[in-house]
């Protein structure tokens, strides 16, 4: 088994492609050559998540954090129950953003004390479930705070809460910004002291603070800067609480490389900076605080691929199209329609022709009757025919569950953890 595809193509230059093991002509996923895996799954398209790669990634993060910080998994990145179960055994906490995700998290056997529930627009019923479950509720507004208190009174349970803060600074470099300025997320920092007064008066179990700056950040310096500013803000807010702060969640948002110019995050730098922030700022001021970061995409994104089969190959006025049996209804992000301004290609490969020297330029399209359904535009790939397997990489996070699966009414894909 070699660790490098033999073909020279723009895609082959992508570190995600170079990182994949190859056996003969086939890419190997979870230790299984791709055509064998496709036969085992029994139908295409499907998502495959590589268990070992998830384990390895958590190990890398743990090594970089060096015990200074607890590690949570943000379930929304990939809520497949087997994936969440696997991660539950590797991380310290699970972060959920809906009742269904909360059930998935609790089904793993994770102690509710190590489950947190964030997200705007929690309904009164969701809040009631969360209070009954005993998970940590990350309050996104004053209305939520009142509903949590009411649910606690009704159920005779002391709710466990933290306040999600919308800081008075923005973090640059996030693909998706979720803090600073006006936001639907969190409570504006300047309003937090009043809210704390209310929470303390009601007797809820106020644990601490949560700040999540944004997703898909590849710049370790900007991440480090955000974490320092967040820690300073939390230390200042803690002055408004009579009791000790026991929970500080600094967010995460570490990105993965999707496009050829993307460079992986310097994890060592993030770890060093976190250790400094905890050692110099948080530990002296808030000695009882457990400091957390929570990662979604970074833990699972690179461990997953989306496997499709070529159904048709056609040449239209000089352009070659591979029409596959999957598409944007399963992997919206690769089509460029999930928050990309200018469409760029995710890394793709022909998973059963990894050693073929016969290259050509093709456009890979899905089976939906819309011009939006493009999986890769003008890429160099080994020549593929109907029956061959086209694989979209970096599909382990925000893939299936972030896609419009009902669009055009095709069947749902399988998902396997290998
Ligand atoms: C989405 C989300 C995450 C995970 O973000 P990633 O970029 O996938 O790591 C973490 N925390 C909260 C509150 C979120 O909403």
pLDDT bin (cut points 50, 70, 90) of residue 260 is confident
Distance CA 200, CA 241 (A): 8
Q: What is the pLDDT of residue 326?
A: 98
What's the CA-to-centroid distance between 215 and ligand 1, angstroms?
6
Beta-carbon count within 10 A of 4 CB? 13
399 in ligand 1 pocket by Cβ < 6 Å?
no
Distance CA 212, CA 351 (A): 37
CA-176 nearest atom, ligand 1 = 7
Distance CA 342, CA 336 (A): 8
Please determine, for residue 4, whether its predicted confidence score (pLDDT) is greater than 70: no
Residue 408 gets the label, from left (phi > 0), alpha (psi -120 to 50) or beta, of left
Please determine, for residue 221, whether its predicted confidence score (pLDDT) is greater than 90: yes
Q: What is the pLDDT of residue 172?
A: 73
Q: What is the pLDDT of residue 13?
A: 58
Note the pLDDT tens digit of each residue in 288-331.
999 999 999 999 999 999 999 999 999 999 999 999 999 999 99
Please determine, for residue 3, whether its predicted confidence score (pLDDT) is greater than 60: no
**Length of the chain counted residue by residue:** 418
Distance CA 27, CA 3 (A): 9
Asked whether the whole model's pTM tops 0.75, one would answer yes
What's the CA-to-centroid distance between 118 and ligand 1, angstroms?
9
Structure tokens at 393: 């990489």
Give me the mean pLDDT over the 198-211 stretch.
97
CA-294 nearest atom, ligand 1 = 10
Q: Pick from 272, 218, 229, 253: which is nearest to 65 by CA? A: 272
Range with the lowest mean pLDDT among 251-255, 278-282, 373-377?
251-255
What's the CA-to-centroid distance between 88 and ligand 1, angstroms?
16
Contact call for residues 171 and 179 (beta carbons, < 8 A): yes
Percent of the chain topping pLDDT 90: 87
Please determine, for residue 369, whether its predicted confidence score (pLDDT) is greater than 90: yes
Average per-residue pLDDT for the chain:
94
Please determine, for residue 63, whether its predicted confidence score (pLDDT) is greater than 90: yes
Strand order in the sheet with 32-33: 22-23, 26-29, 32-33
Please determine, for residue 11, whether its predicted confidence score (pLDDT) is greater than 60: no
CA-252 nearest atom, ligand 1 = 9
Give me the mean pLDDT over the 12-19 stretch.
76
Contacts of residue 264, defined as CB under 8 A and 6 or more positions apart, other chains included, come to 15, 218, 256, 257
SS3 95: strand
Distance CA 39, CA 202 (A): 58
Note the pLDDT tens digit of each residue in 150-171.
999 999 999 999 999 999 877 7
Note the pLDDT tens digit of each residue in 24-52.
999 999 999 999 999 999 999 999 999 99
164 in ligand 1 pocket by Cβ < 6 Å?
no
CA-301 nearest atom, ligand 1 = 8
Note the pLDDT tens digit of each residue in 381-413.
999 999 999 999 999 999 999 999 999 999 999
What's the CA-to-centroid distance between 216 and ligand 1, angstroms?
9
Q: What is the DSSP string of 45-75?
A: SEEEE-HHHHHHHHHHHHHHHTTSSEEEEEG
296 in ligand 1 pocket by Cβ < 6 Å?
yes
11 in ligand 1 pocket by Cβ < 6 Å?
no
Q: What is the DSSP letter of 222?
A: H
Taken in order of first residue, the domains within the chain and their CATH numbers are 10-50+302-417 (2.40.37.10), 79-295 (3.20.20.10)
CA-255 nearest atom, ligand 1 = 7
What's the CA-to-centroid distance between 296 and ligand 1, angstroms?
6
Please determine, for residue 198, whether its predicted confidence score (pLDDT) is greater than 80: yes
298 in ligand 1 pocket by Cβ < 6 Å?
yes
Contact call for residues 72 and 95 (beta carbons, < 8 A): yes
Distance CA 48, CA 196 (A): 45
Q: What is the pLDDT of residue 378?
A: 96
């Amino acid at each position: 088994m070699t660790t490098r595809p033999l073909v020279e193509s723009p895609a082959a230059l992508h570190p995600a492609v170079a990182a994949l093991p190859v056996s003969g002509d086939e890419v190997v996923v979870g230790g299984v050559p791709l055509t064998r895996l496709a036969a085992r799954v029994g139908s295409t398209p499907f998502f495959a998540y590589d268990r070992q790669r998830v384990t390895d990634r958590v190990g890398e993060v743990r090594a970089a954090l060096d015990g200074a910080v607890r590690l949570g998994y943000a379930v929304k990145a990939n809520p497949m129950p087997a994936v969440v179960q696997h991660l539950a055994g590797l991380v310290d906490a699970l972060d959920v953003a809906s009742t269904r995700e909360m059930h998935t998290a609790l089904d793993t056997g994770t102690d509710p004390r190590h489950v947190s529930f964030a997200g705007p627009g929690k309904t009164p019923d969701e809040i009631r479930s969360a209070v009954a479950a005993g998970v940590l509720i990350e309050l996104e507004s004053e209305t939520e705070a009142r509903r949590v208190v009411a649910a606690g009174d009704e159920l005779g349970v002391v709710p466990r809460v933290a306040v999600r803060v919308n800081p008075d600074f923005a973090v640059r470099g996030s693909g998706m910004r979720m803090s600073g300025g006006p936001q639907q997320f969190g409570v504006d920092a300047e309003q937090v002291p009043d809210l704390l007064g209310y929470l303390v008066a009601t007797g809820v179990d106020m644990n601490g603070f949560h700040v999540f700056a944004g997703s898909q950040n590849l710049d370790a310096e900007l991440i480090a800067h955000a974490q320092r500013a967040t820690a300073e803000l939390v230390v200042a807010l803690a002055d408004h609480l009579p009791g000790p702060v026991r929970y500080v969640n600094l967010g995460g948002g570490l990105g993965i490389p999707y496009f050829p110019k993307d460079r992986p995050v310097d994890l060592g730098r993030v770890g060093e900076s976190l250790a400094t922030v905890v050692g110099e700022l948080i530990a002296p001021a808030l000695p009882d605080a457990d400091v957390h970061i929570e990662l979604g995409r970074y833990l699972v994104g690179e461990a997953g691929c989306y496997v499709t089969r070529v159904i048709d190959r056609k040449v239209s006025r000089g352009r070659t199209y591979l029409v596959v049996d999957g598409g944007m209804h399963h992997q919206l992000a690769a089509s460029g329609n999930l928050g990309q301004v200018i469409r760029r290609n995710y890394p793709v490969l022909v998973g059963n022709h990894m050693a073929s020297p016969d290259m050509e330029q093709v456009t890979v399209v899905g089976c939906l009757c819309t011009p939006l359904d493009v999986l890769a535009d003008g890429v160099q790939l080994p020549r593929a025919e109907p029956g061959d397997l086209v694989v979209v990489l970096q599909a382990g996070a925000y893939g299936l569950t972030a896609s419009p699966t009902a669009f055009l009414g095709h069947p749902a894909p399988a998902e396997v953890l290998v």
